Structure 1
Amino acid sequence: MRKPVRDGLLPRMEARRTKKGFTYRYHPVGGKPVNLGSDRVEAIRKVLDMTGAGDDIGTIRRLWEQFQETPGWNRYSQYTRADYTQCSLKLLEIFGDMRASDIDATDVAKYLRKERADAPVRANREAALLSNLIGLAIERGEAKHNPCREVKRNEEQPRTEAPEPADFAAFSQWLADQGGQRAMIGMAAEYAAGAGNRKVEFLDLSWPQIDRKAGHIRVKRAKQRGKKRGEVIEQIEITPHITALLDRLEVVRKNDCLYVFPNRSGNAYTQAGFKAMWQKLMVEAIKKEVIAHRFTFHDLRAYYVTQHKAERGALPDLHANPATTARVYDRSKIVKRRAL
């Protein structure tokens, strides 16, 4: 006699083979088996409804909670987890109470094109999270297909501008003149522009990572996958410009603070806290005509690459694939080449 199929089913459920697939039954305690039909997802939902446990099973809100308990979640970097958490806010507002199995391609398209029309790039990140959550529902037997894979993402136009040196110098000096945390944010920007590190790589930079005698700063490179995660160390040369910046940071260092770019409390800035402060300062700088064009903090990485190429004649080593550095961060407006 064949054993009943139980993979992915709830306790006391049974799947019986038929010529066309499977039919499902539920065995209540002390009662006769209940036929559930041939639709696996619907059969699971019926059992959950019968047992009183199905009110939020398979909803995006519940799946988001379960997603954060998966092994994969712990393998994400702190930056990625924070970004997904930010993405979940708007996503749960729209889809939170919907079951993954009830979401179709038109719902995803409406979200991307209409409900998040004011933030098309961010909407793509949110749709990626939604796809992960529905994928989890499929693994748990709570959905059959992933509609996110059927909808084209919003077109993203890569940024082509890097801050002009004059604009960046004016912005940095404006912050330095104000002192306090504004000056600290300015010095963090100067470091990013001079060393090319991402925020996630240096917001918690500590003084022991700086070896002025050996002439270098050591940080872990972010966004490494697989076995390289957390193992690639960048050793950054301390140039005269970085030396001058470190001298200024030493002057304002309080009580032997561990962090190079501390917040008011002497702790490392969080991603969210730094981002909020940066946006506030950028809006104010534009309003007061300190700078003519707004730029993002991540644009400082492009500034570093562009200036590095102009001054040293080559792109810096930022990625395992040099083509990525050239494609994403090199924003040179003048290309020099030799004639025959």
Structure 2
Amino acid sequence: MARRRKDPALNWLPPRCYIKGPSIVFRPILGGSIKLCSADKKQSEVWSLYEQLISQKEQEYTISVMISEFFGSADFHELSKTTQADYRKQSKPILLVFGKMKADAVGPQHVRAYLDKRGLKSRVQANREKAFFSRSFRWAYERGKVKMNPCKGVKQFKERARTRYITDEEYRVVYDLAPNVIKVAMEVAYLCLARRGDILALRWEHVLDEGVFIQQSKTAVKQIKLWSPRLRDAINMARELCKHPIAGFVISKPDGQVYTTNGFDAAWQKTMREARARTGLPLDFTFHDLKAKGISDLDGSSRDKQQISGHKTEAQVQVYDRSIKRVPTVETARKK
């Protein structure tokens, strides 16, 4: 059901229609506006024009309409918040190129051309955007809205697995120079093998007698990270920072408000710039690399590490495990 409008007298307007000056405009989910008619039209005339517009848009099943429907679907809303945000971000360059094309007019050659051109700037982003495009087409194909998924069979770029390992010295250098809020986030990321989004979503109610409760947004795995001296020190530091009475999040601003992803990223980047300037070290690692350091520093097999990391497969653990394997020489391992 559509939300009630601030002015009850305008509740008769069709969905996503608004009065703007002398006109009534329709605003699609993906942005922009389309003039529907003048504001002095009768209600019946407005609705008739609205139905004509929607019918016309259904006949012109464009990429813009397809993605808009996908974003409004139950399938989309069942995805994690992180994936939803990624998909919305990845849709923007796709819509700039394909938005006005009829969905059935898009062929594999068009997807290939997009990948080749986009790949000149970033092959990784090109692959992610193609994966999103394919997911949208798959949704539409399964519902009989398009004849085929043109992304299927189009080869993506090869990606090299990230191998950057943060040394203990590098970690300590950045930690020592970081503001306390970044120190807390670093320790939780490393000790709990946690993603940035899960750390920012951590509330005080998740801090339990046994340890810290974390539900991974990407895999939905629930774990209690048991207390260790370093983890307890980090949480105590967070308590000292949270002096505001409304502070519900472990990582929060001085006014008690939660950090946005962009706000936290800006604070992290500032910390890294200052650390590079003061030490002269390259320090070319990301916040997400802290999780990889944690997995790499764990003792045991991939299966052992999987139990702690919360990954669903050993293969996922191996992507993060950047430790260098120690193997014997022939002299010590030679058959007797």
TM-score tier (shorter): 0.7 to 0.9
For the residue of structure 2 that corresponds to 1:147, the secondary structure is coil
Shift of 1:50: 11
1:227 maps to which residue? none
Give, in whole Å, the separation in 2 of the partners of 1:327 and 1:159.
11
Amino acid across the alignment from 1:300: L
Instruction: Give the ranges of 4+ consecutive aligned residues of structure 1 lying more than 6 Å apart after TM superposition.
Output: 48-52
Q: Secondary structure at the match of 2:225?
A: strand
Please point out which of 179, 182, 187 is paired with 1:185: 182
For structure 1, the 5+ residue unaligned runs are: 1-47, 177-182, 225-229
**TM-score (ref. length: structure 1):** 0.72
Structure 2 length normalisation: TM-score? 0.73
Matches within 5 A, 1:267-278: 267-278=257-268
1:59 Cα deviation after fit: 1.5
Q: Take 2:227 and 2:216, find their aligned partners in 1: how far apart are those partners?
A: 17
1:63 aligns with 2:66: yes
Measured against aligned partners, the alpha-carbon deviations of 1:70-98 in whole angstroms (never above 9, x if no partner) come to 11011001111011111112111221112
**Structure 2 CA distance for partners of 1:322 and 1:61, relative to 1, 3 Å:** closer
Contact 2:166 2:285 in 1 (8 A): yes
Counterparts of 2:53 and 2:203, CA distance in 1: 56
Residue number in structure 2 paired with 1:220? 215
Is 1:199 matched with 2:188? Answer: no
CA contact (8 A) 1:171 1:291 kept: no
Determine if contact 1:60/1:133 at 8 Å carries over to the other structure.
no
Q: 1:91 to 1:247 in 2, by over 3 A?
A: same
Paired letter, 1:219: I
1:301 aligns with 2:291: yes
2: CA distance, partners of 1:103 / 1:306 = 44
Secondary structure of the residue aligned to 1:163 is coil
2:234 counterpart of 1:245: yes
Q: 1:192-216: per-residue Cα shift (whole Å, max 9, x none)? A: 01211112322111122112xx341
Kept in 2: contact 1:305–1:330 (CA 8 A): yes
Tell whether the 8 Å contact from 1:56 to 1:62 is kept in structure 2 after alignment: no
Q: Aligned Cα RMSD in Å?
A: 2.9
Residues 287-326 of structure 1 aligned to structure 2 (within 5 Å): 287-289=277-279, 291-309=281-299, 315=305, 317=307, 318-319=309-310, 321=312, 323-326=314-317
Determine whether 1:153 maps to 2:150: no
Tell me the CA shift for residue 137 of structure 1: 3.7
Counterpart of 2:257, as a letter, is N
- Report the count of equivalent residues: 277
1:1-340 equivalent positions in 2, closer than 5 A: 53-54=56-57, 57-139=60-142, 141-176=144-179, 183-211=180-208, 214-224=209-219, 230=220, 232-256=221-245, 257-289=247-279, 291-309=281-299, 315=305, 317=307, 318-319=309-310, 321=312, 323-335=314-326
Determine helix, strand or coil for the equivalent of 2:299: helix
- Report % sequence identity: 27
